[in-house]
Structure 1
Amino acid sequence: MPEIEVSAVLPVYNDRAALEVAIPRSLETLEAIAPGGFELIVAEDGSTDGSTEFVREYETGDPRVHLMHSDERLGRGRALNRAFAGAKGSIVCYYDVDLATDIQHLPELVGAIREGYDIATGSRLLPESDITRSGGREIASRGYNLLVRTVLGSSLHDHQCGFKGFRRDRLLALLPTVTADHWFWDTEVLVRAQKSGYRIQEFPVRWRQGPGTTVRRKDVIEMGSAVMRLWWHLHVEKG
């Protein structure tokens, strides 16, 4: 059996319909990038819509697909930590199961790590990015990322795009310092990586907003609170 070079992770919570598209498209794309030398991990986080059973059935027919199921809801960050710890590839990546970021960018993501970057991340906020989303989400995203750049000193433009790749050994060395267990995981990983001198490549992507995604006032408050908590950890507690 060939050595696994690339481990791709799909974080999943009640995404049964999206999985029907995401798994076969992922396998097709990964086969072109790393023929035979990859695995597709579905980090399924306490779903109740049949996602578990769907992936388990797929897994029995294709040994490259691995279900990593949790009975309890872990949150996005904890589910990703668990998946990356159990991955076999020297390159690990993840992307959202709705394929909001065009999967055609996956060769570029993996290629950046092969070229020597520690982290690669897609960006919806570079001038060359091609995105379609509602005005409310666009304003919230730009405001949030400006806050991260200003308060936390990040040089990146988009911290929350669900399309990231890592050198696994470098990521695992960083994760013990990361405290976020849900959506803020993405931002905290990128901010702490920059402060630790990691080489990061940010590149423009084609991105389309999925159905049913809205920004609530509560979300905006939580975003701001998470940024200020990390600032406190970094500058007051020296975390």
Structure 2
Amino acid sequence: MTQISVVIPARNEAENIITLVEDIDRALAALGGFEIIVVDDASTDASVAVLRKRAQSMPHLRVLTHDRSGGQSAAVHSGVLASRGAVICTLDGDGQNPAEELPHLLAPILGDATGRIGLVAGQRVARQDTWSKKAASKFANGLRGWMLQDGTRDTGCGLKAFRREAFLALPYFNHMHRYLPALFARDGWAIAHVDVTHRARGAGRSNYSNLQRAAVGVVDLIGVAWLLRRRKISTVLPDDLR
């Protein structure tokens, strides 16, 4: 029985993706009952070919493909829709999120006797990125935290674990993956945080630039702030008032 689904959004990561998949397989071997879903977001390199070849000897590896690029949030959403596990883990396809962190990420939600934790958010320490990327991220996280009060210092970290049904109940929009703590809290879920390590990219280059992130970030931030303010809280009336 599949308990955990690991969803990896990826685009043009042929040089990194197999190592990452094999690292995940080793990291979760002791847990059992998991699947790995790589959602290829219309890669133009050999990503799909190398994944399908590896899947021949790894039956719990599933490969989904987008015929055109939809972005990271679209890839995550496709993977969650196709998943069989009640708990989802995500991490980036470039290998910068170490797979060894997955058991630490899963521990709070799998051990949650109350059922209140909806999301476990990884927060990178000793981040292995360029100075400009770290500076841009620090500014964006500070602004986002001030506006949304989501209590998370690093929402851009790809390492996350969450309840599948809770995720699918969230409003879906492009770039939503950057706002999961605020969106889960909006729906009344508790958020747990886990510090995670970070690696330098092994090969290839990022599919996003600081300018691209900034251009869409302002509009997204305003939209999410609006969603939080407009949240409707349902009420249950006593039987005699229905």
TM-score interval (norm. to shorter)? 0.7 to 0.9
1:133, 1:49 → 2: CA distance? 24
Show the counterpart of 2:143: 147
The alpha-carbon deviation at position 218 of structure 1 amounts to 4.4
TM-superposition CA deviations, 1:50-80 (whole Å, max 9, x none) = 1111111112222111111121212211111
Q: TM-score, normalised by structure 1?
A: 0.86
Instruction: Give the alignment of 1:112-123 within 5 angstroms.
Output: 112-116=108-112, 117-123=117-123
Question: Equivalent of 1:224, from 212, 218, 222?
Answer: 218
SS for the counterpart of 1:118 is strand
Which blocks of at least 5 consecutive residues in structure 1 are unaligned? Answer: none
Contact 1:178–1:189 (Cα < 8 Å) also in 2? no
Contact 1:13–1:46 (Cα < 8 Å) also in 2? yes
Show the counterpart of 2:24: 26
Show the counterpart of 2:236: none
Instruction: Give the alignment of 1:1-239 within 5 angstroms.
Output: 3-32=1-30, 34-35=31-32, 37-116=33-112, 117-124=117-124, 129-174=125-170, 177-179=171-173, 181=174, 184-210=175-201, 212-213=205-206, 215-235=209-229
SS for the counterpart of 2:37 is strand
Which blocks of at least 5 consecutive residues in structure 2 are unaligned? Answer: 233-242
2:228, 2:189 → 1: CA distance? 17
**Which of the pair has more CA radius of gyration?**
2
SS for the counterpart of 2:167 is helix
1:57, 1:132 → 2: CA distance? 31
Q: TM-score, normalised by structure 2?
A: 0.85
2:129, 2:68 → 1: CA distance? 32
The alpha-carbon deviation at position 238 of structure 1 amounts to 5.3
RMSD: 1.9
TM-superposition CA deviations, 1:197-228 (whole Å, max 9, x none) = 21111111111342644744343233223212
Contact 2:119–2:163 (Cα < 8 Å) also in 1? yes
Aligned length: 225
The alpha-carbon deviation at position 164 of structure 1 amounts to 0.6
